[in-house]
């Protein structure tokens, strides 16, 4: 199965994308988003610039740049949110566009010691809180 870039929310930058996430910054070869659902305080997503289905389809240079972006974001998340651990999720069963979910986990917090939920639809912030989070991440990048 190969998804159509013309129907990809990351490639088309469509309304569904903006309902789920807020774009924070463009990095070397990817875009950083804050996931609007914030059960895992500070949850972000890094999406590759081009419609590529899997990490193993990138050249060594492209992969290294993408992973450098992911690492840069997790370093910023660590500074801003100070989680105990950041969980990485790279799922693309139905939407074949390379992206990583980055879910901060906190001792005593939701699902600590287990797998994070994709979209529990429990915690949403105000526009001002999202803006503050975005500015803090930008400053830490």
- Predicted confidence (pLDDT) per residue in 99-135, tens digit: 999 999 999 999 999 999 989 999 999 999 999 999 9
pLDDT of 65 reads 98
Structural domains present in the chain: 1-19+33-111 (3.30.428.10)
List of long-range contacts for 14-20, beta carbons under 8 Å, 24+ apart: 20/119
Give the pLDDT confidence score for residue 1 in this predicted structure.
53
End-to-end CA distance of the chain: 35
pLDDT digits (tens, 9 = 90+) for 49-59: 999 999 999 99
């Amino acid at each position: 199965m190969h998804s159509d870039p013309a129907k990809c929310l990351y490639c088309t930058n469509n309304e569904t994308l903006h309902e789920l996430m807020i774009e924070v910054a463009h990095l070397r070869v990817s875009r950083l988003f804050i996931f609007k659902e914030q059960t895992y305080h500070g949850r972000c997503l890094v999406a590759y610039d081009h419609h590529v289905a899997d990490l193993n389809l990138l050249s060594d240079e492209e992969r290294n740049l993408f992973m450098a972006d992911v690492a840069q974001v997790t370093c910023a998340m660590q500074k801003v949110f100070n989680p105990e651990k950041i969980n990485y999720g790279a799922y693309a069963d139905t939407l074949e566009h390379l992206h990583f979910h980055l879910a901060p986990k906190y001792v005593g917090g939701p699902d600590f010691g287990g797998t994070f939920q994709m979209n529990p639809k429990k915690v949403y912030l105000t526009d001002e809180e999202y803006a503050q989070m975005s500015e803090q991440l930008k400053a830490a990048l």
